Amino acid sequence: MPVNLPALLPDTLHPVPGVRLGVTEAGIRKANRRDLTVIELAAEARVAGVFTQNRFCAAPVQVCRTHLAQGSARALVINTGVANAGTGDQGMLDARTTCVAAARALNIAPEQVLPFSTGVILEPLPVERLTAGLPGAVAALRADGWFDAAHAIMTTDTVPKGVSRRIRIDERDITITGISKGAGMIRPNMATMLGFLATDAVVSQPLLERLAREAADLSFNSITVDGDTSTNDSFILIATGQAGNAEIADDTSPAWLALREAVIAAAIELAQAIVRDGEGATKFMTIAVKGGRDRAECRAVAYAIGQSPLVKTAFFASDPNLGRILAAIGYAGIADLDVSQLRVWLGDVLVAEHGGRAASYREEDGARIMADAEIGITVDLARGQADATVWTCDFSYDYVKINADYRS
């Protein structure tokens, strides 16, 4: 079960004016499951995207990049079950065929369709099933379809993931709602497996693109389940412009600061939900690294700890074998790190200082902290002012079982 992740309820996801969502059962990989989603956007909508940097990126990712660069997006098509990655020229043709079929159903141009796929890599997309299912998804389009869409984009997720909030800008109510999916193959080198976040605010295209990058960096780019960067990672930020506020185009304005804060907070919540629902997870861990010369080295240390199988299995067992944390710090790639200045805390307990075990540390204190479902690790590198935070989970027996049985 997810680690301290509240159940997502239908009425907690507010409709975003200018967005309609429809889902259907297309039989992409398995029968009798919702696996195809269409998201329709208002003509005024602006869209920005951040995608995987995996060199084996999926066909839909390549098509999305091209279509976003060509102009306005009016629809998103998302299938689960088959990733359409590692599928060569046929995969590209299938992604484009998806766009043509969706465009026909929605009376828009194929270049205005953004396709997304998630699921098994190296298997052909059954595009004929997908296109046959599109009319049903289009017929189901409605403003309050977020909850159903959160279910329809799942793969090994055990629960749907969504977030919604409202803020005030220029005396106008602004809605922000989003969904994400992911539980394994998570160390996004840009974002997450799939994430879609929409607001009805009026915001300029340059600032929207900047916000997509910043939100991804501070949220989806700060999580890891198993250190694997997916071929299909995509994060899309949509601004429909329906709220009627004055266009946000100045990055010093109170409106920009308010929108930025709210969007990043929503993205962090979606990203943390992925970790809390990590395959087989029983612990949610926050790794905060401070005192670095720059953010990059702080992130390198945090990821070294968060991705270490030895650290993750120790946390699953609630075993305070904390030398594994020191070892991970040591191989994080900081050649001139002075370990005699470094300090490490587990929760509020000082574990290491002066190059070794803290004199005040007691094993029973470590065991007490590690028994909790949510655990914090803090590292002070004592070499600068930069900091970074990464969220991760433990490795349990179930992680191996889930991934061993994934294609069956």
User: Mind listing the pLDDT tens digit for each residue in 64-101?
Assistant: 999 999 888 999 999 999 999 999 999 999 999 999 99
Catalytic residue among 192, 224, 229, 240: 192
22 Ramachandran zone, left/alpha/beta (phi>0; psi -120 to 50): beta
Residue 17: pLDDT over 70:
yes
The Cα–Cα gap between 79 and 58 comes to: 13
Q: Bigger pLDDT: 293 or 223?
A: 293
Domain boundaries, the chain: 10-276, 284-404
Is 192 considered catalytic here? yes
For CA atoms 105, 111, 113, 118, the dihedral sign is positive
What confidence category does residue 356 fall into, taking pLDDT thresholds of 50, 70 and 90? very high
| pTM given for the model | 0.94
Same fold, 10-276 and 284-404: no
Q: With CA atoms as reference, report the closest residue to 45 among 65, 18, 10.
A: 18
- What is the model's pLDDT at position 192? 45
Name the pLDDT band for 21 (thresholds 50, 70, 90). very high
- How much is the pLDDT for 190? 47
In this prediction, residue 117 has a pLDDT band, given cuts at 50, 70 and 90, of very high
Predicted local confidence at residue 33, as pLDDT: 93
Beta strands at 46-51 and 349-353: parallel, antiparallel or unpaired: unpaired
Q: What is the pLDDT of residue 184?
A: 67
- CATH number among 3.10.20.340, 3.40.718.10, 3.30.70.520, 3.90.1150.10, domain 284-404: 3.10.20.340
262-289 average pLDDT score: 95
Q: Which one has a higher pLDDT value, 192 or 142?
A: 142
Q: What is the CATH number of domain 10-276?
A: 3.60.70.12
Asked whether 22 and 141 are in contact (CB, 8 A), the reply is: yes
Per-residue pLDDT of 367-389, as tens digits, reads 999 999 999 999 999 999 999 99
- 245 pLDDT more than 80: yes
